[in-house]
Amino acid sequence: MIDQLYRKAVLTVAGQQAIENVVRARGWGMAQRFVAGETPQTAIAAVQELQQDGILANLDLLGEFIESPEQCTAFADNVLTMIDAAHAAGITPYVSIKLSSVGQGKTVGGEDLGLKNARRIIGRARQFGGFVCLDMEDHPRVDQTLAQFRTLVGEFGHGHVGTVLQSYLYRSEADRAALDDLQPNLRVVKGAYLEPETVAYPDKADVDAAYRRLVYAHMTAGNYVNVATHDERLIDDVKMFALAHGIARDAFEFQMLYGIRRDLQKSLVKDGYRVRAYIPYGRDWYPYFSRRIAETPRNAMFVIRGMLRG
Ligand SMILES: Cc1cc2nc3c(=O)[nH]c(=O)nc-3n(C[C@H](O)[C@H](O)[C@H](O)COP(=O)(O)OP(=O)(O)OC[C@H]3O[C@@H](n4cnc5c(N)ncnc54)[C@H](O)[C@@H]3O)c2cc1C
């Protein structure tokens, strides 16, 4: 409950235009701890640096609240540029997209623009043996995202497209079971948005318990799981569960965010686990940065100290 209040307070403050202006003007240096620069080249340099530690990468071009259909298509074009740049640098493209950024919910020529642009992106990634994960956004988008995921797996195969379930949503366990026939590659997260009690567990203990149930059920069903968390207790429990149930280390991977718990990422690699870092980059870093600050007071202190130092 306290976590919820903290998150709500930070996201409310961060939503104020005046705060945004100050942080945008003075906060880029601090944001760089969480964001790998503003161009595909800076992001690729981050991928190559992680590779030296045996850490895999998931590239994410930042861009939220993109409004017009033209902006959505331009954003999708930039994702294609990123995929091409990764391929040219010898990296198998693994990217995440938010369907809202590429036009989900906008009908153009009788077709959902998000679906149309997702097809272009997944098609290009597949051409290079790559993979696209459809990030999960706030709860009103879940139905459409899961329906579009189903369509896209049918067209491209589960080896080239995956999606995300959020353990804070009451519905996610039923959603997972309903997707089982696709043998889907799923990322399990706790959830990053401010959601009402009508749809999401307000207590952290319930979110964590649901997280375990989701991961264990998906592993037991024989599907690939991306265990996306920095929570060491959950990570240890998943390791134990896999060991106890004979689940191979290549049947799942741990995922963490760029700039967070690099020590843990490295030690998991050393122990023979697959680890992938989620590498956001791009000019539109403010909403992403605000969500990271809202996750833990430690990050808020990091920013406040940085601002005071000027
Ligand atoms: C790879 C990846 C992809 C994601 N994709 C999505 C998505 O598509 N949709 C979505 O809603 N959410 C997504 N998230 C965010 C997720 O929902 C959580 O908000 C976020 O991961 C924090 O939760 P946690 O599991 O790390 O656990 P928490 O209980 O929040 O944290 C556990 C511990 O991890 C450490 N920690 C956590 N966050 C931070 C931080 N920001 N800085 C420093 N330490 C931290 C702290 O030590 C904390 O005590 C993603 C997260 C990851 C790692």
Binding site residue list for substrate: 98, 291-292
Residue 33: active-site member: no
Does ligand 1 lie within 6 Å of residue 189's CB atom?
A: yes
Binding site residue list: 98, 136, 166, 190-192, 204, 229-230, 291-292
What's the CA dihedral at 4, 227, 259, 8 to 10 degrees?
Answer: -10
Say if residue 215's pLDDT is above 60: yes
The Cα 89–Cα 291 span in angstroms is: 30
3-state DSSP of 238-261:
HHHHHHHCCCCHHHEEEEEECCCC
- Look at residue 198 and give its three-state secondary structure: coil
Atom 35 of ligand 1, nearest CA residue? 230
Among 8, 21, 3, 18, CA closest to 286? 21
Task: Tell me how far the alpha carbon of residue 292 lies from the centroid of ligand 1, in angstroms.
Answer: 8
| Residue found under tokens 């060491």 | 232
Lowest mean pLDDT among 59-63, 211-215, 274-278: 59-63
Q: What sections of the chain are H helices per DSSP? A: 2-14, 17-26, 28-31, 40-51, 69-88, 113-127, 142-156, 172-179, 204-220, 232-244, 262-270, 286-295, 297-309
Say if residue 235's pLDDT is above 90: yes
Does ligand 1 lie within 6 Å of residue 260's CB atom?
A: yes
Measure Cα distances from 106 to 70, 98, 204, 279, 310 in Å: 11, 14, 35, 27, 42
Nearest atom within ligand 1 for CA of residue 133: 8
Does ligand 1 lie within 6 Å of residue 55's CB atom?
A: no
Residue 206: active-site member: no
Chain-wide mean pLDDT for the chain?
Answer: 91
Does ligand 1 lie within 6 Å of residue 257's CB atom?
A: yes
Predicted pLDDT of residue 88:
97
Q: What's the average model confidence in pLDDT over 96-113?
A: 96
Predicted pLDDT of residue 265:
97
Predicted pLDDT of residue 308:
56
Does ligand 1 lie within 6 Å of residue 231's CB atom?
A: yes
Say if residue 25's pLDDT is above 90: no
Binding site residue list for FAD: 136, 166, 190-192, 204, 229-230
Q: Predicted confidence band at 303 (pLDDT cuts at 50, 70, 90)?
A: low
Say if residue 299's pLDDT is above 60: yes
Predicted pLDDT of residue 291:
77
Contact 69, 113 (CB under 8 A): yes
- Percent over 70 (pLDDT), the chain: 89
Lowest mean pLDDT among 20-24, 159-163, 211-215, 241-245: 20-24
Predicted pLDDT of residue 5:
74
Among 247, 245, 248, 265, CA closest to 256? 265
- What's the distance, CA 272 to chain centroid? 23
Lowest mean pLDDT among 2-11, 103-112, 238-247, 252-261: 2-11
**What's the one-letter identity of residue 23?**
V
Q: Predicted confidence band at 2 (pLDDT cuts at 50, 70, 90)?
A: low
Nearest atom within ligand 1 for CA of residue 193: 11
Interval 125-181: pLDDT, tens: 999 999 999 999 999 999 999 999 999 999 999 999 999 999 999 999 999 999 999
Contact 82, 95 (CB under 8 A): yes
Predicted pLDDT of residue 22:
64
Predicted pLDDT of residue 163:
98
The Cα 34–Cα 129 span in angstroms is: 27
Say if residue 79's pLDDT is above 70: yes
DSSP of 87-136, one letter per residue?
A: HHTT---EEEE-GGGGTTT-EETTEEHHHHHHHHHHHHHHHTT-EEEE--
Structure tokens at 165: 């379930």
The Cα 291–Cα 25 span in angstroms is: 18
Does ligand 1 lie within 6 Å of residue 292's CB atom?
A: yes
Q: Which CATH number fits domain 35-284: 3.30.1490.20, 3.20.20.220, 3.40.50.261, 1.10.10.60?
A: 3.20.20.220
Q: Which of 189, 255, 258, 268 to mutate to test the pocket of ligand 1 (most atoms within 8 A of CB)?
A: 189
Predicted pLDDT of residue 197:
97
Q: What's the average model confidence in pLDDT over 199-222?
A: 98
Among 177, 186, 230, CA closest to 208? 230
Say if residue 281's pLDDT is above 70: yes
